[in-house]
């Protein structure tokens, strides 16, 4: 799952979307998966149990161009996906949930997210 403030996924061309890769748990699973196999399937949904879901399939690539991320708060690189198929999907199995608050860890302009507590634990600090 990838998340961020509203608008963190952007349409950058008629058939391409992009979103920032933020500092995470340093497991790099999304990056590794894309390097190994760029075919991706994405599901965009709103947790209200009534909105239509959007499915998106395509080919992903990693963009590490400093100019591409210069104006995106907290971005380490970008994920870019060129669309092959975009289609709606029925929301009937999506549970109704509510957004209580945005994550304080989501980067945004003029804001420095707090350091996650787990990064200060003795057993992990020295390997980060």
Cβ contacts of 24 within 8 Å, gap of 6 or more:
none
Q: Where are the domains of the chain?
A: 10-125
Looking at the chain, the number of H-run helices and the number of E-run strands are 3, 5
- The CATH code of the domain at 10-125 is 2.30.110.10
Band of residue 112 on the pLDDT scale cut at 50, 70, 90: confident
Per-residue pLDDT reduced to its tens digit, 46-82: 777 677 788 999 999 999 999 999 988 888 899 999 9
Q: Phi first, then psi: give them for residue 40, nearest 5 degrees.
A: -130, 155
**Confidence (pTM):** 0.78
Band of residue 30 on the pLDDT scale cut at 50, 70, 90: confident
């Amino acid at each position: 799952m990838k998340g961020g403030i509203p608008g963190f996924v952007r349409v950058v061309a008629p058939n391409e979307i992009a979103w920032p890769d933020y500092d995470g748990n340093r497991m790099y699973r999304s990056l590794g998966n894309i390097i190994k196999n760029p075919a991706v399937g994405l599901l965009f949904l709103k947790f209200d149990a009534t909105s239509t879901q959007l499915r998106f399939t395509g080919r992903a690539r990693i963009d590490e161009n400093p100019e591409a991320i210069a104006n995106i708060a907290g971005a380490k690189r970008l994920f870019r996906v060129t669309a092959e198929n975009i289609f709606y999907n029925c929301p009937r199995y999506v549970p109704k949930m509510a957004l209580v608050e945005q994550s304080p860890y989501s980067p945004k302009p003029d804001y420095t997210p707090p350091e996650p507590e787990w990064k200060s634990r003795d057993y992990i600090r020295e390997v980060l």
